[in-house]
């Protein structure tokens, strides 16, 4: 049984960046987030350099106990508009255990309290029915269908 108190969000940084590569490269995660290939260590480090200079993003490693089990984050943070985009990627071994739901609650609360976010957007591949059902269960509403990109866009007003 998963204890929700043991689910934490840890700032993504140089000390834990290797978890990003492992999680993105796990299974088909890289495809589900729109990448054409698995990322290399060099790409991961280069990405970190850009991320650390970008104040419109805030990313976290999801941990259960001490075990890294996913990534979650906010992108396109726009405090004046009260909006941000959200993404989550899980290590397949930790799916359907309640970890993603708890991590979503934590990052949504963080977005609201830290940045005054009132609308959270996310995009998902239209074939990712498991994720679509998950987002709907959390209260996200579909607002746009982009068939050219095979994507759906959702919003959660908080």
- For residue 11, the model assigns a pLDDT of 97
Q: For residues 8 and 24, what is the distance between their CA atoms, to the nearest angstrom?
A: 19
Q: Is the pLDDT of residue 91 over 80?
A: yes
Domain that holds residue 80: 4-157
* Cβ 57 vs Cβ 11: under 8 Å: no
* CATH label of the domain that carries residue 18: 3.40.630.30
Percentage of the residues of the chain whose pLDDT score is greater than 70? 99
* Cβ 8 vs Cβ 103: under 8 Å: no
Q: For residues 70 and 92, what is the distance between their CA atoms, to the nearest angstrom?
A: 9
Alpha-carbon radius of gyration of the chain:
15
Question: How many structural domains are present in the chain?
Answer: 1
- For residue 9, the model assigns a pLDDT of 98
């Amino acid at each position: 049984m998963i204890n929700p108190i043991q689910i934490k969000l840890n700032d993504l940084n140089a000390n834990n960046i290797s978890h990003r590569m492992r999680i993105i490269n796990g299974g088909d995660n890289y495809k589900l987030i729109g990448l054409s290939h698995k990322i290399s260590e060099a790409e991961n480090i280069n990405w970190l350099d850009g991320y650390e200079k970008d104040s419109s993003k805030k990313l976290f490693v999801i941990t259960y106990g001490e075990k890294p089990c996913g990534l979650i984050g906010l992108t396109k943070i726009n405090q004046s508009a009260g909006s941000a985009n959200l993404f989550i990627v899980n290590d397949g071994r930790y799916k359907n255990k309640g970890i993603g739901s708890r991590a979503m609650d934590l990052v949504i609360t963080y977005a609201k309290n830290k940045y005054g976010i009132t609308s959270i957007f996310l995009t998902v591949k239209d074939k990712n029915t498991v994720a679509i059902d998950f987002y709907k269960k959390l209260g996200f509403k579909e607002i746009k269908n982009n068939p050219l990109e095979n994507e759906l866009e959702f919003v959660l007003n908080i």
